[in-house]
Amino acid sequence: MHDCISITGLGSVSPLGIAQAEIWKHYTENTHGFHANTIHNKNVYTAPLSEKAAAAVTALRNSNSKYKNLDNSVLYAILASRIAIENAGWDTEKDFGINIGSSRGATSLFEKYHQDFLQNEHAQTLSSPTTTLGNISSWVAHDLQTTGPQISHSITCSTALHALLNGIAWLQSGMASTFLVGGSEAPLTPFTIAQMQALHIYAKKETEYPCLSLDLEKKRNTMILGEGAASICLEKGEKQHALAKIRGIGYATEILKHNTSISAEGICFEKSMRMALQGHSPEEVDAIVLHAPGTIKGDLAEYQAIKKIFCNKMPSLTTNKWKIGHTFGASGMLSVELAILMIQQQQFISIPYLEKENTPQQLKKILVNAVGFGGNAVSVLLCKD
């Protein structure tokens, strides 16, 4: 990286809540946000928004007639972004850029409009503009009244961290001085869950901890879908009021061998982490927030890549998917949120069903990983100073 990038604002909506104090409280408890729901006549685990977060979404939808026809993925992004810029103290005169991505976009609306088309043989008027990926950043920009660049994209499950990379590129190029980046996902729909079940990676068994993310001894796949959004405010340079500072970024893509899998050695993870750590010794890293979706092969591949880099001096390892599930395109930014909170609170969040690791004496440098189908990995090094 050419310059330090400061994170000056943070906002999210998720199964953990919507207020930072509430979210941190949930992180310090050994509970999860999974609920058994009947979806398409099947009983499945999902991680929906908390009651307070869901109520905030309903209030937002009812606050403006234009918002009544928007997908939840857009509304989640608007709420998270409002919180983030308030947290950063930005105003609309900044004309900041926006890059908020989503793996799937307006999933619920797309399924609804397509079903209506099959039944009635015609498309509804708003079926196109409300189901495009660009819909997310455009509506966030409208809501925040900024006229800066508006970008949306899908790079599957690493989407949010690719948005972060893109925002940094804009800042370092001098084309912008402030950028809002993040990810949003509302995938708790019948077709989406059926797709994950067809891959044989979705959790089936009812247990105390349904998603065994980072449990390398598990004998079954335990991925569970969650929903939510997270946004952060980026500013170029060293800012005294920064929540955390980005000191390294890395990315790598494997040559596609299968539509969904990455190599058993986690080659893309190894490359992205090495790039992010350029100029930093691996021994300086206090903790890693893993992508770890709760699948047998996915969790193990990432762990193998970490072992190659850190050898006998492993940082403390954690993830939030055992608690909130896999939020697809939003997951990387929700992992960044966990890292920021741990840096601020100087408290490591461990995983209750794993053997307790040595608690790090300090949390000054935390690495965050994300990867998408086919091996699109991103790593970000967050620092306290």
Question: 40 versus 182: which is more confidently predicted?
Answer: 182
Strand partners, 151: 99
Write phi, then psi, for 242 (nearest 5 degrees).
-65, 140
Mean pLDDT of the region 89-117: 91
Q: What pLDDT is attached to residue 92?
A: 66
Q: What pLDDT is attached to residue 260?
A: 58
CA distance 154 to 177: 24
Q: What pLDDT is attached to residue 377?
A: 97
Its pTM surpasses 0.95: yes
Distances (CA, A) of 247 to 26, 207, 208, 232, 384: 28, 39, 38, 16, 10
Q: Give 147's Cβ-side CA count (13 Å radius).
A: 1
Contact between 75 and 158 (Cβ < 8 Å): no
Write phi, then psi, for 308 (nearest 5 degrees).
-65, -35
SS3 86: helix
Longest Cα separation, the chain? 63
pLDDT band at 160 (very low <50, low <70, confident <90, very high): very high
Pick the CATH number of 5-383 from 3.40.50.300, 1.10.600.10, 3.10.20.90, 3.40.47.10: 3.40.47.10
Lowest-confidence segment of 35-49, 50-64, 257-271, 316-330 by average pLDDT:
257-271
Q: What pLDDT is attached to residue 259?
A: 61
Quick one: which of 367, 374, 10, 12 has its CA closest to 185?
12
Contact between 80 and 44 (Cβ < 8 Å): no
Give the pair of three-digit tokens for residue 374.
């086919």
How do residues 189-228 score in pLDDT, each as one tens digit? 999 999 999 999 999 988 999 999 999 999 999 999 999 9
CA distance 132 to 139: 11
How do residues 323-367 score in pLDDT, each as one tens digit? 999 999 999 999 999 999 999 999 999 999 998 877 899 999 999
Q: What pLDDT is attached to residue 1?
A: 72
The percentage of the chain sitting over the pLDDT mark of 70, rounded to a whole number, equals 98
Question: 2 versus 375: which is more confidently predicted?
Answer: 375
How do residues 68-82 score in pLDDT, each as one tens digit? 999 999 999 999 999
Q: Which residues contact 141 (CB under 8 A, 6 or more apart)?
A: 98, 147, 148, 150
Q: Look-up: residue for tokens 């395109």? A: 329
pLDDT band at 266 (very low <50, low <70, confident <90, very high): very high
Mean pLDDT of the region 89-112: 91
- State the DSSP code for 175: S
How do residues 110-127 score in pLDDT, each as one tens digit? 999 999 999 998 999 989
Q: Look-up: residue for tokens 């946004």? A: 231
Question: 235 versus 37: which is more confidently predicted?
Answer: 235
* Arithmetic mean of pLDDT over the chain: 95
Quick one: which of 141, 122, 149, 177 has its CA closest to 5?
177
Contact between 166 and 99 (Cβ < 8 Å): yes
Distances (CA, A) of 114 to 123, 250, 311: 8, 38, 50
Quick one: which of 332, 385, 333 has its CA closest to 363?
385
Quick one: which of 376, 366, 202, 216 has its CA closest to 289?
366
